[in-house]
Amino acid sequence: MARLIKDAEERRLELIETAGRLFYEIGYDQTSVQAITDSVGVAKGTFYHYFDSKEDLLRQLTDAAADEICTALQHRMETVHESALEEARSMLSFILAFKTENRRLMMAYAKVFYRDENILLRHSLERSYAERLVPIFAHVIEQGVREGVFDVEDPTETAEVILFLMYGGLGERIGPMLNAVDEHPEYLDVILKKVLAVETAMGRILGIKGGTFKIYDIEAVKRFFAS
């Protein structure tokens, strides 16, 4: 029985990994379920044994990516000790670097989940991603309070608010523009303004004097969209 369970999990992961490769090579919309199963060498019905749809597969793929980045991020935060401000900058730079390395997947994600019909699924995934990051960011905020850099009463609640601002607020505003930025390069200026506005809001929420919280590497953000 244990071997059957292992075989089933290996098959599910094989389908996810193959789909991720095809999404990267030819794009999400151009990748059919048939193309995925043909590449793996299984019947189409096998796909639906593991996934409700291609969008369900993308959800599982992005969940796995979130687990991967959060595990790596947690390890980094536990082994590299910096000031709270540097920890926060490193945290967001690490996430942005990961997204840049997986840009095609991130863009495929945005193209699917920023459709109006996927609002419930999108919010579910945003909550899932934020829940993974809240304990990590709360730890950084606690450190900042001890250092006298941040002025907040509840680090966990503050972490939740900031992550909601980043994913629920900023994500909702710039998400629809992500896949149109190549055709509308002027969107990049709009996106950068919103990123900077969120940066300022984060500084004020954390109680930093003057609200200054220069945490995003704007050049790295530009490189993400220019990739």
- Average pLDDT rounded to a whole number, residues 61-74: 81
Structure tokens given for 87: 């920890």
Question: Most confidently modeled of 21-25, 39-43, 184-188, 191-195?
Answer: 39-43
User: pLDDT averaged over the chain?
Assistant: 81
Q: Which residue has the higher pLDDT, 4 or 136?
A: 136
Say if residues 59 and 125 touch (Cβ distance below 8 Å). yes
Quote the CA–CA distance of 158 and 183 in Å, as a whole number. 37
Q: Is the pTM of this model over 0.85?
A: no
What are the φ/ψ torsions at residue 6 (nearest 5 degrees)? -65, -45
Q: What domains sit in the chain, N to C, each tagged with a CATH number?
A: 1-51 (1.10.10.60), 60-226 (1.10.357)
Residue 163 has pLDDT above 90, yes or no: no
**pLDDT band at 12, cuts 50/70/90?**
very high
- Average pLDDT rounded to a whole number, residues 71-85: 83
Quote the CA–CA distance of 225 and 104 in Å, as a whole number. 11
Closest CA to 33 of 139, 42, 172, 190: 42
**pLDDT band at 147, cuts 50/70/90?**
very high
**pLDDT band at 2, cuts 50/70/90?**
very low
Closest CA to 62 of 9, 5, 11, 23: 23
Residue 70 has pLDDT above 60, yes or no: yes
Q: Which residue has the higher pLDDT, 203 or 215?
A: 203
Instruction: Say what angle helices 119-147 and 103-113 make with each other, to 10 degrees.
Output: 120
